[in-house]
Amino acid sequence: MSGGGWMLAALRHDRWLFIGGLTLIQLAAVVYTVAGIGMDMSAIDMTRMAGAPGQPMEMGPGLVWTLPYAVLIFLMWWVMMIAMMVPSAAPTILLHHSLTRSPDGSGNTRDTWAFVAGYLAVWAVFSLLAAGLQWALQPLGLIAPGMMSLRGGGFAGAVLILAGLYQFTPLKRACLRHCQAPGVFLSNHWQPGARGAWAMGLRHGGFCLGCCWALMLLLFVGGVMNLYWIAGLALLVAAEKLALFGKATLAVTGVMLILSGIAVLLTA
């Protein structure tokens, strides 16, 4: 293949290159989360030692909150959000990439990466707030420092009930509609260029956050690094966004969370 023909051929296959890059990011986030890089134990070890909601196994005083430790906790939250949220956002991301393809079959990966960056920036803000909440609750004795989960059935039960009630709110349903219809979202909010893609990524991330923030707080109930809770919540988010079980998903999970919260409160 002469001249720049090899480059043109590569551009025509950029969809697979883009999917490969996105997959590598996802796999790296999963490996980081499971390995618990920078923590005293891996997520597998912490999962084995996790107790019932509100009754976490104590593991000593934990590390002192210094600036490096706070950055580590922020990164732990952010990478974990990437591992949990990218799969359910993939349909919108890939559709955006398809819509930016040129007539010659090549795609504009720069714009789609800008979309991804905007989306992940929203979850970076959430991760910063979650790390700050964890930092604020630990000195009050409300967070078990080792397992990073709520102490006391009262608080754990209240968070479960809050998450369950949020499933029935108009805000939850409105945000979820935007996440369930990638074509409608991109059609209604399309902006050209990398800057426009970044803005769309921010907007889509905002709808995603509005849909899932209460569910993500459940990590404080089961343990921030509890793999069972991480995997379960990721699957629940995917089921909601992909509408795998129709409208019943919100009602069923809402009732189950409320009943679980009441059960935890009664056994506290």
User: What is the reported pLDDT for 244?
Assistant: 75
Q: Measured between alpha carbons, how far is 153 from 158 in angstroms, rounded to an integer? A: 8
Of 240, 189, 243, which Cα lies nearest the Cα of 214?
240
The whole-chain average pLDDT of the chain stands at: 83
- In 92-223, where do the E strands start and end? 143-144, 149-150
pTM to 2 decimal places: 0.85
Span 108-137, pLDDT tens digits: 688 999 999 999 999 999 999 999 999 888
Q: Which pLDDT band holds residue 78 (cuts at 50, 70, 90)? A: very high
Confidence grade of residue 62 (pLDDT, cut at 50, 70, 90): low
Nearest to 121 by CA among 192, 190, 206: 206
* Arithmetic mean of pLDDT, 86-101: 88
Is residue 160 within 8 A of residue 261, CB to CB? The reply is yes
Asked whether the predicted pLDDT for residue 54 surpasses 70, the reply is no
Please state, in angstroms and rounded to a whole number, the distance separating the CA atoms of residues 77 and 137. 16
> SS3 letters for 179-196?
HHCHHHHHHHHCCCHHHH
Which tops the pLDDT comparison, 45 or 249? 249
- Domain parsing of the chain, residue ranges: 5-266
